[in-house]
Chains A and B, each alone.
Chain A
Amino acid sequence: MLVSDPALAIGDTPLVKAAAVSPAGYEIYVKLEGSNPTGSIKDRVALYLLDDAERRGLIGQGSRIIEPTSGNTGIALAALCVARGYKLTCVMPENTSVERRTLLELYGADIVFSPGTEGSNGAVRLAREMAEGDGDVYMPFQYGNEVNPRAHYETTAPEIIRDLPDVGALVAGLGTGGTVTGVGRRLKEHNPDIKVFAAEPEYGDLVYGLRNLDEGFVPPIFDPSLLDGRVKVDSERSLKATRELAQHAGIFAGVSTGAALSVAHRMCRSERLPLGTKLVVISADGGWKYLSTGAFDVGDASTLAGELAGTVWA
C-alpha cells in the first residue's frame, strides 16, 4: 500500500481470529485498531472531525482547535493538525500515562491538565469553559459530534461486515460511546440479531472524586438503545485479560482491549449467545502507551493493576 499522506492510511485494520482466547464453542476475532497511523481507533474519528469542520468552513489554515480527551483522540488530532497547519490544545486529565503526554508534545500540541479526581468529565468541563471564553477557537467535541459515530458507521462497521459477514456479536469499550453507537447501528442494520455489548472501565475511587452527581456526564452521541448489555470491568480484570491476550495469542493490546475481551468471555455462554457465535472484540489501541504504567512488567497482574486503577486508561 503506497499513500501520499498518513491520513490515507487510516482504517482497513486487520481482523484477527484469536482461537487461543476463544472459549470452547465460540470464535473470538480481534479488530486491531492499533494498526492505525497514530496507534488507535481514534484516527478514524479525528479524520472525520477535521474533514467535517473543513467542509463546513469552520476551520482553515492557521485555525486554533481545542478538544477534551483522555489521550487517544488528542494524539490522533495532533498528528492530523501537523499536516494541516492547525494549532491544537488538548485538555486531558492529569492522571493519564506519560506516553500520551510525550506524544502530544512531540506533535506540537499544547496540553492543559484537568484534575485527575474528575476523570474525563473534568476535561470536558474545563475545555467547555475555555472554549466559551474564546470565540476564535473551534472545539470539535467528540462527545457531542455526530461525525464520531458516523466514522464508525461508515468505516469500522463495513470492514467488519466485509471480513466476517456472519458476525454474531460485537464487544467494544465505552468511552464516548462512538464505537458502540456507530458500529452497533450498522451491524444491526446488517443483521438485527447481532448483539452489541459495551465494556465500561471501572477505575479506583481516585478517579470518581466528583463533588456531586450533577458533575456526571453521559455523552450526547451515545445511543444506549443499540446496546444489549453494558458490563463494568475493573483495572485488575482488564489487565489480566490484556496480558493473556499477549501471552496466549501474541496480540499486544491496550488495557481497554482486555476489558472488552473479558466481557466477550462473559457472554460466551449458551444463555447469552448461541453456541457457535462469532464475536468481534474491538481492540482500540496497542499496548505501547501503557508500558510506563508498569502494567506489562514481570509480576502478578493483581499487584500491577493497583497502580493502574488510578490512571485513566480508556
Chain B
Amino acid sequence: MAIEVRVPTVLRKHTEGERRVSGDGAHLRDLIDDVGDRHNGLRAALVADDGSLHRFINVYVNDEDVRFMQGIDTPLSDGDVVSILPAVAGG
C-alpha cells in the first residue's frame, strides 16, 4: 500500500527538501505516524498536543479537506493522494 503525501514548502525542512514523500496507513493518523517516523519533526508540525490537526494546517485527501470528513481518523486507500497546505486567505 502506498499513499503519496504532498508536502508544502514550509514543511520541506523535515523531508530533506522533498515535495512528495510516500507512506502508508489505514487512517490519516496512521499515515502521519508512518511518515513522521521517517521524517523527523513532521508529525509535531502537523498534529497538536491534543492529537488534533494543527490549526493553521489543512490536510486534504484527494483534494477534500479532512476536517469535513473524519478528521485525523479519515480512512485511506491505496493510491490516495494526501496534500498538506498552510491556511491562507483571500479577498
Contacts and interface: CB of A to CB of B under 8 A. Distances in A.
Interface string A197-236: 0001110010111111111111100001001111111000
A314 interface: yes
Contact of A210 (B19, B86, B91): B86
Contacts of A142: 91
B45 interface: yes
Given A205-B9, A213-B56, A218-B55, A121 B88 contact: yes
Contacts of B64: 229-231
Given A213-B57, A216-B55, A230-B67, A120 B86 contact: no
Given A200-B65, A213-B57, A216-B55, A176 B91 contact: yes
Contact of A211 (B10, B85, B90): B10
Contact of A208 (B60, B86, B90): B86
B15 interface: no
B1 interface: no
Contacts of B87: 216-218
Contacts of A281: none
A251 B11 CA distance: 39
A213 B10 contact: yes
Most chain B beta-carbon neighbours within 10 Å: one of A120, A201, A229, A230: A230
A217 B85 contact: no
Interface string B28-64: 0000000000000000010000000011111010011
Nearest to A210: B10
A312 B88 CA distance: 11
Contacts of B74: none
B85 A143 contact: no
**Overall SS of chain B's interface:** mixed
A124 B56 contact: no
B75 interface: no
A121 B45 contact: no
A158 B57 CA distance: 33
Contacts of B8: 205, 208
Contacts of B90: 70, 119-120, 173-176, 201, 312, 314
Most chain A beta-carbon neighbours within 10 Å: one of B10, B11, B60: B10
Contact of B65 (A218, A232, A312): A232
Given A210-B86, A216-B86, A72 B9 contact: no
Nearest to B86: A216
Given A213-B10, A232-B85, 15 more contacts: A70-B90, A70-B91, A119-B88, A119-B89, A120-B88, A174-B90, A175-B89, A175-B90, A176-B89, A210-B9, A212-B10, A217-B89, A230-B58, A230-B68, A231-B65
16 contacts: A121-B89, A175-B89, A200-B65, A201-B90, A202-B85, A208-B8, A208-B86, A210-B86, A214-B56, A216-B57, A216-B87, A219-B91, A230-B65, A231-B60, A231-B63, A231-B65
Interface of B: 8-11, 19, 45, 54-58, 60, 63-65, 67-68, 83, 85-91
